[in-house]
Amino acid sequence: MEKIEVSKEMIKKLMDGVLSDQEVLMLQNSYKDHDRFLKYLEVLQERVPWDDKILMRLSEHVYIVQKKDTGERISKCTCGYEFGDYRVNWKLNCLINVRKTIEEMSEVYHPVPACPEPEWQEIREFFCPGCGTQLAVEVVPPGYPILFEFLPDLDSFYKEWLHSPLPDHGKYRFEDKSLTLIEKWSKEV
Ligand SMILES: [Zn+2]
């Protein structure tokens, strides 16, 4: 297999969906170069309006970043809204719309027989409190805990896969801290 150097320009074109068929084929057939993820982060960094360092992209608009001033690792929207500690499910800090009835569901599902079954399932839509962008949707049984889609082990990923440990390696225990926020809310009630 051929080893090729993938430029940032090529990564930009890949992200924008404008690579030629030939370039796609070349990417598919070649070894992945070691620093491609870091180059990808550089491209992402050039495209956001803030300068906290991106550590990982979670979805189209949500990133884990290292805050420039405090060094904290938090989840953050493209618009700049901060969801807090990345180990807390960022969806808990969203504005949430829940569709429970067939009328509410049929506004987003068509035709009606395609709708999830009310009482057995509900549709939850998550919006950024900062910019109002819809960031996620989940269809789950009523009462089901909000899905924490992805909690990456950042320290292991950077050290063992990228061979480039984060400067504060080991400072953040790899654990789901979502319950700490819910506990805080329960004390406020
Ligand atoms: Zn936002």
Q: Tell me if 7 is assigned to some domain.
A: yes
**Position 22 confidence tier, pLDDT thresholds 50, 70, 90:** confident
Contact at 8 Å (CB) between 9 and 42?
no
Q: Is residue 182 part of a domain?
A: no
Residue 135 Cα to ligand 1 middle (Å): 8
b/e string for 33-50 if b means 16 or more Cβ within 10 A?
Answer: eeebbebbbebbeeebeb
Query: In this structure, is residue 75 part of a structural domain?
Result: no
Decide if pLDDT at 1 tops 60: no
CA distance 165 to 52: 18
As a whole number of angstroms, the distance between CA 166 and CA 168 comes to: 5
* Residue 6, in any domain of the structure: yes
Domain count, the chain: 2
Residue 116 lies in a domain: yes
Q: Measure the CA–CA gap between 127 and 150, rounded to whole angstroms.
A: 17
Q: Which residue has the tokens 């807390």?
A: 88
Averaged pLDDT score across all residues of the chain: 93
Ligand 1 centroid to 64 CA: how many Å?
A: 13
Predicted confidence (pLDDT) at residue 25 exceeds the cutoff of 90: no
pLDDT at 3 over 70: no
Range of 23's domain?
A: 1-47
Query: Alpha carbon of 166 to those of 102, 154, 170, 183: distances in Å?
Result: 48, 8, 9, 30
User: Torsion over CA of 41, 95, 81 and 150, rounded to 10 degrees?
Assistant: -30
Cα(55) to centroid(ligand 1), Å: 18
Q: How far is the CA of 17 from the centre of ligand 1 (A)?
A: 23
Q: What is the mean pLDDT of residues 168-185?
A: 95
Percent of all residues in the chain with a pLDDT value above 90, rounded to a whole number: 76
With respect to residue 159, please indicate whether it lies within any of the assigned structural domains.
Answer: no
pLDDT over threshold 60, residue 20: yes
Does the pLDDT value for residue 87 go beyond 70? yes
Ligand 1 centre and the CA of 62: distance in Å?
8
93 CA to centre of ligand 1 in angstroms: 11
Ligand 1 centre from 176 Cα, in Å? 23
In this prediction, residue 122 has a pLDDT band, given cuts at 50, 70 and 90, of: very high
* 145 falls within a domain: no
At residue 2 the predicted structure's pLDDT band, cuts being 50, 70 and 90, is low
Q: How far is the CA of 61 from the centre of ligand 1 (A)?
A: 7
Q: Is the pLDDT of residue 34 over 80?
A: no
Q: Is 104 part of any domain?
A: yes
pLDDT of 75 reads 98
> In the predicted model, what is the mean pLDDT of residues 145-152?
96
